[in-house]
Structure 1
Amino acid sequence: MECSSSASSNLDALSRTLTKLLHLHHATTSPPPPPPPPPPLQTLSSLLAQSPPSPSSPHESPSSSAIAESLIAELFAIVSAIKASYAELQLAQNPFDPASIHSADLAIVAELRRASDLKYSYLADPDPYPNPNPNPNPNPSPVLSLLREQRNLLRTYEVTSKQLESDLDSLDSRLRALRSDLSDLAHANRALESRLRGQPRSLAGLHLSGLDPTHLLAALRGAVSAVKSFVRLMARRMERAAPPWDLDAAARSAHPAAAAALRHPRHRSFAFVSYVCHRMFSDFHHRDFNLKPLAERRAWDRRRFFREFSHVRSATARQVLDGGLVGSPGFDQFRRAKYASVVGPKMEAALFSSSSAAAAGGSPETEWAVGFAEVAIRVWALHCLFYSFGEEMGPAIFQVRRGSRFSHVYMENVERDHGPVGVGIGGPGGGPATVAFTVVPGFRVGKTIIQCRVYLESCEGERTVVIS
Structure 2
Amino acid sequence: MLISSIFATVSSFEASYLQLQTAHLPFNEESIKAADEALVSHLRSLSDFKQFYRYFCRNPDVGVALPVESCLEAQVQENQSKLRVLGIASDHLQAGIDRKDNEVSALRKQLVDLQKSNFKLANRLSGNLNLPSSCDVLLSVRVFDSVLNDACRATHKFTKILIDLMRKAGWDLDLAANSVHADIEYAKTGHNRYAFLSYVCLGMFRGFDLKKFGLDEGDTEILCNGHVSDSVKTHSSLKQLLEHVSSSPVELLHRNPNCEFSKFCEKKYQELVHPTMESSIFSNLDKNEEVLNSWRSLRIFYESFVNMASAVWMLHKLAISFDPVFEIFQVERGVDFSMVYMEDITRRCNLPAKTRMKVGFTVVPGFKIGRIVIQSQVYLCGLKCTE
Q: Equivalent of 2:266, from 333, 336, 341?
A: 336
Residue 295 to residue 410, structure 1, CA distance change in 2 (3 Å): closer
Q: Equivalent of 1:351, from 258, 268, 281?
A: 281
Asked whether the 8 Å contact 1:444–1:450 carries over to 2, the reply is yes
Paired position in structure 2 for 1:375: 308
Asked whether the 8 Å contact 1:255–1:274 carries over to 2, the reply is no
Asked whether the 8 Å contact 1:288–1:294 carries over to 2, the reply is no
Alignment partner of 1:226 is 2:150: no
Q: How far 1:372 sits from its partner (Å)? A: 0.8
Q: Provide Cα deviations, 1:203-251, integer angstroms capped at 9, x if missing partner.
A: x97921222111110110111111000011011111212xx11111121
Aligned-residue CA RMSD (Å): 2.7
Asked whether the 8 Å contact 1:248–1:265 carries over to 2, the reply is no
Q: How far 1:434 sits from its partner (Å)? A: 1.1
Asked whether the 8 Å contact 1:443–1:450 carries over to 2, the reply is yes
Structure with higher Rg: it is 1
Alignment partner of 1:282 is 2:206: yes
Listed as ranges, the matches of 1:39-58 within 5 Å are: none
Listed as ranges, the matches of 1:159-308 within 5 Å are: 207-210=134-137, 211-241=139-169, 244-256=170-182, 259-292=183-216, 299-308=231-240
- In structure 2, how many angstroms separate the alpha carbons of the residues matched to 1:254 and 1:332? 27
Q: How far 1:322 sits from its partner (Å)? A: 2.5
- In structure 2, how many angstroms separate the alpha carbons of the residues matched to 1:385 and 1:403? 32
Q: How far 1:296 sits from its partner (Å)? A: 12
Paired position in structure 2 for 1:402: 333
Asked whether the 8 Å contact 1:315–1:377 carries over to 2, the reply is no
Q: How far 1:440 sits from its partner (Å)? A: 0.4
Q: How far 1:356 sits from its partner (Å)? A: 4.3
Residue 396 to residue 438, structure 1, CA distance change in 2 (3 Å): same
Paired position in structure 1 for 2:367: 443
- In structure 2, how many angstroms separate the alpha carbons of the residues matched to 1:357 and 1:345? 13
Asked whether the 8 Å contact 2:210–2:220 carries over to 1, the reply is no
Any idea what SS the aligned residue of 1:456 has? Answer: strand
Asked whether the 8 Å contact 2:195–2:363 carries over to 1, the reply is yes
- In structure 1, how many angstroms separate the alpha carbons of the residues matched to 2:374 and 2:220? 29
- In structure 2, how many angstroms separate the alpha carbons of the residues matched to 1:439 and 1:269? 10
Q: So what's the TM-score if we normalise by structure 2?
A: 0.57
Q: How far 1:394 sits from its partner (Å)? A: 2.9
- In structure 1, how many angstroms separate the alpha carbons of the residues matched to 2:217 and 2:260? 6
Any idea what SS the aligned residue of 1:400 has? Answer: coil
Q: So what's the TM-score if we normalise by structure 1?
A: 0.47
Residue 388 to residue 437, structure 1, CA distance change in 2 (3 Å): same
- In structure 2, how many angstroms separate the alpha carbons of the residues matched to 1:382 and 1:398? 15
Q: Provide Cα deviations, 1:146-168, integer angstroms capped at 9, x if missing partner.
A: xxxxxxxxxxxxxxxxxxxxxxx
- In structure 1, how many angstroms separate the alpha carbons of the residues matched to 2:247 and 2:190? 32
Asked whether the 8 Å contact 2:253–2:262 carries over to 1, the reply is no
Q: How far 1:316 sits from its partner (Å)? A: 2.7
Any idea what SS the aligned residue of 1:339 has? Answer: helix
- In structure 1, how many angstroms separate the alpha carbons of the residues matched to 2:317 and 2:140? 14
Listed as ranges, the matches of 1:17-166 within 5 Å are: none
Any idea what SS the aligned residue of 1:238 has? Answer: helix
Any idea what SS the aligned residue of 1:322 has? Answer: helix
Q: How far 1:293 sits from its partner (Å)? A: 6.9
Q: Provide Cα deviations, 1:300-325, integer angstroms capped at 9, x if missing partner.
A: 41111111111113443431442247
- In structure 2, how many angstroms separate the alpha carbons of the residues matched to 1:284 and 1:357? 30
Paired position in structure 1 for 2:39: none
Ranges in structure 1 where 5+ consecutive residues have no aligned partner: 1-203, 460-468
Asked whether the 8 Å contact 1:255–1:272 carries over to 2, the reply is no
- In structure 2, how many angstroms separate the alpha carbons of the residues matched to 1:371 and 1:332? 15
- In structure 1, how many angstroms separate the alpha carbons of the residues matched to 2:158 and 2:271? 15
Alignment partner of 1:434 is 2:381: no
Q: How far 1:261 sits from its partner (Å)? A: 2.7
Any idea what SS the aligned residue of 2:328 has? Answer: strand
Residue 407 to residue 325, structure 1, CA distance change in 2 (3 Å): farther
Ranges in structure 2 where 5+ consecutive residues have no aligned partner: 1-121, 126-132, 222-228, 285-289
Residue 369 to residue 442, structure 1, CA distance change in 2 (3 Å): same
Which protein has greater RCO, CA pairs closer than 8 Å, 6+ apart? Answer: 2
- In structure 2, how many angstroms separate the alpha carbons of the residues matched to 1:320 and 1:294? 26
In structure 1, give the amino acid aligned to 2:177. A
Alignment partner of 1:385 is 2:318: yes
Q: Equivalent of 1:455, from 374, 379, 382?
A: 379
Any idea what SS the aligned residue of 2:380 has? Answer: strand
Residue 315 to residue 436, structure 1, CA distance change in 2 (3 Å): farther
- In structure 2, how many angstroms separate the alpha carbons of the residues matched to 1:357 and 1:262? 37
Any idea what SS the aligned residue of 2:174 has? Answer: helix
Q: Provide Cα deviations, 1:381-428, integer angstroms capped at 9, x if missing partner.
A: 0000001112xx131111111111111111111121xx4xx4x3337x
Corresponding pairs, count: 239
